[in-house]
């Protein structure tokens, strides 16, 4: 069964973790043979993951070239276009921030009090030295009207799973040639996503530690592993996550980002 997917990826801290989940997530009861439709999945997605705002605290562990570093990150999002990430520790990086709005993506370096817009040519570059890219933070349109999806029942580690193979529509502005998801058969929460360039897998994202947040099943641990660097990874673990919380509009401005970032810089 191949159908068109219409899904929108949110900004804010969701882009770091929840957005990686959101293309395929929902809440359903497994049936013996019948496959759910894309429309059913999207309906559950809208119900469970659409929120006016979100706020979270998370720990990001990055391992590259045998070196491992850990960042604490506070994130805010509002609607589908506004997001702010601020590194709160370690002290040498506290206050470093990224702002996303409908106008683009900016990085803030607190030591130099320097604000830099991220040009489109740098969207494929890594974010804060992790295995996520700037494009991962801004790819709101990547899952909207851009993919054909084929669903099937499968098996993983002896457990039944729902698989979703996502192939870009012709002309879609999508980096990957294919994305293969494995989802929990009952809850439709993601277990694994494999990203392809041509026929070659280039990165794998695993999702675990599913907990309820306001009645929504959210994986609290997400790990990204590049295929070309065995042993390297970026791991994101939520400590706190809240949906539909009041957030001041002003923090999603360049001045607001500076103020928010300086709070953590001054504490370090």
Query: For residues 97 and 108, is the Cβ–Cβ distance under 8 A?
Result: yes
> What parts of the chain have a pLDDT lower than 70?
1-33, 41-49, 139-144, 266, 268
Taking the C-alpha atoms of residue 87 and residue 64, their distance in angstroms, rounded to an integer, is 19
Q: Are 214 and 182 in contact (CB under 8 A)?
A: no
Question: CA 163 from chain center: how many Å?
Answer: 19
Domains identified in the chain and CATH numbers: 2-267 (2.50.20.10)
Residue 192 · residue 206 · CB < 8 Å: yes
3-state secondary structure of 263: helix
pLDDT in tens, 141-192: 445 577 788 889 999 889 999 888 888 888 887 788 998 989 888 888 889 9
């Amino acid at each position: 069964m191949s159908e068109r997917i219409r899904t929108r990826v949110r900004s804010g801290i969701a882009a770091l973790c929840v957005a990686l989940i959101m293309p395929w997530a929902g809440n359903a009861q497994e049936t013996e043979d019948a496959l759910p439709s894309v429309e059913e999945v999207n309906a559950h997605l809208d119900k469970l993951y659409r929120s006016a705002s979100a706020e979270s605290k998370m720990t990001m562990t990055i391992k590259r070239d045998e070196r491992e570093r850990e960042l604490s990150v506070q994130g805010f999002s509002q609607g589908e276009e506004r997001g702010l990430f601020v590194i709160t520790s370690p002290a040498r990086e506290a206050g470093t921030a990224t702002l996303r709005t409908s106008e683009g993506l900016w990085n803030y370096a607190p030591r130099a009090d320097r604000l830099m817009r991220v040009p489109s040519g740098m969207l494929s570059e890594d974010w804060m030295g992790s295995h996520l890219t700037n494009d991962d933070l801004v790819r709101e349109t990547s899952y909207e009207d851009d993919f054909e999806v084929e669903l099937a029942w499968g098996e993983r580690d002896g457990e039944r799973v729902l698989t979703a193979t996502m192939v870009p529509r012709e002309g879609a502005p999508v980096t990957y040639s294919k994305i293969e998801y494995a989802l929990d058969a009952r809850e439709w929460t993601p277990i694994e996503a494999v990203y392809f360039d041509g026929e070659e897998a280039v990165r794998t994202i695993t999702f675990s530690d599913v907990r309820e947040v306001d009645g929504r099943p959210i994986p609290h641990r997400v790990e990204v592993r590049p295929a070309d660097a065995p042993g390297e990874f970026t791991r994101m673990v939520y400590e706190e996550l809240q949906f539909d919380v009041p957030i001041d509009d002003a923090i999603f401005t360049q001045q607001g980002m500076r103020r928010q970032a300086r709070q953590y810089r001054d504490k370090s």
